[in-house]
Amino acid sequence: MATRHPHRGEPHRLHSLMEWRALAEMAVLPYATPLLLTAPHGDGHPVLLMPGFMADEATLLALKLFLGSRGYDVQSWGFGRNTGFHRKHAQALEQKIRYLHHRSGRKVSLVGWSLGGVFALYAAHQASECVRSVITLGSPVSVDPEGSQSPPLLKTLYRMVAHPMGPSVHVMQPRAKKLRERVVPPVPTSCLYSLGDGVVPPQEATIDGDPAMHENIRVIGSHTGLGFNAMVLCVVADRLAQPEGQWKPFNPGGLAGAAYRWVAGAAAPV
């Protein structure tokens, strides 16, 4: 079984206070270019990117440029700033995936950062016949019945921006029943998580599932830097490059794989 991380409670307070280290991850990214150039090329299928809470398409620039250079038809969700799990955005996303599938004649891979990963899982349930794979980056995909364990400041912000009763109201929508019950989508799914994430604790960013189709992959970094993290970019490229219908769990190889094992140490994919 692919299993959730055993952590309990909120992220470590020190990690939350040091989320600014994402700036260092951005600064280091250009120096990782030689490593990124060793990442596998893809087959050109559509890849749809979804931003995190209170973020817009601009935050996806590094992912979009990098995956475009690997040969994918990269799109961003096109709905502006992500202001919460609203029904109108969830429905529009499903329609966009169906359109991309119809236009290209190929299944679409979904990459969601933080709350964007929740949208990705929702869409994979609603339009599974159009989805090739799902990759989430530090996304709260396994929230327990007692509610989110993200820092109080983030939950307060969600209540101010999205809904005064918090994210639980949006997840209680009838259409979100599978998300609420933590049902994993019937497509290959890779959940990237970091023990240093100061926003989403590891038990919420990981899933229980069939290891033949679902996996959790540990990376090193902050929450707000995941979309600019060289290790994350290499892992995403590796996952997207697998031939359709021949998905296998992450087994890093080559120069990028050696770098992953060196940085991550003994913490191989869980």
> Which pair of structure tokens corresponds to residue 124?
């994979």
Neighbours of 218 (CB within 10 A): 22
pLDDT at 259: 77
pLDDT of residue 265: 67
The pLDDT tens digits for 44-98 are 999 999 999 999 999 999 999 999 999 999 999 999 999 988 888 889 999 999 9
Determine contact, residues 161/84, Cβ cutoff 8 Å: yes
Average pLDDT over all residues of the chain? 91
CA 85/CA 119 separation, integer angstroms: 7
pLDDT for the residue 268: 46
Assess contact for 73 and 99: CB atoms under 8 A.
no
CA angle 20–26–30, rounded 5-degree value: 160
pTM of the model: 0.93
Residues in the chain predicted with pLDDT less than 50, given as ranges, are 266-270
User: What pLDDT is attached to residue 269?
Assistant: 44
The confidence score (pLDDT) of residue 123 equals 95
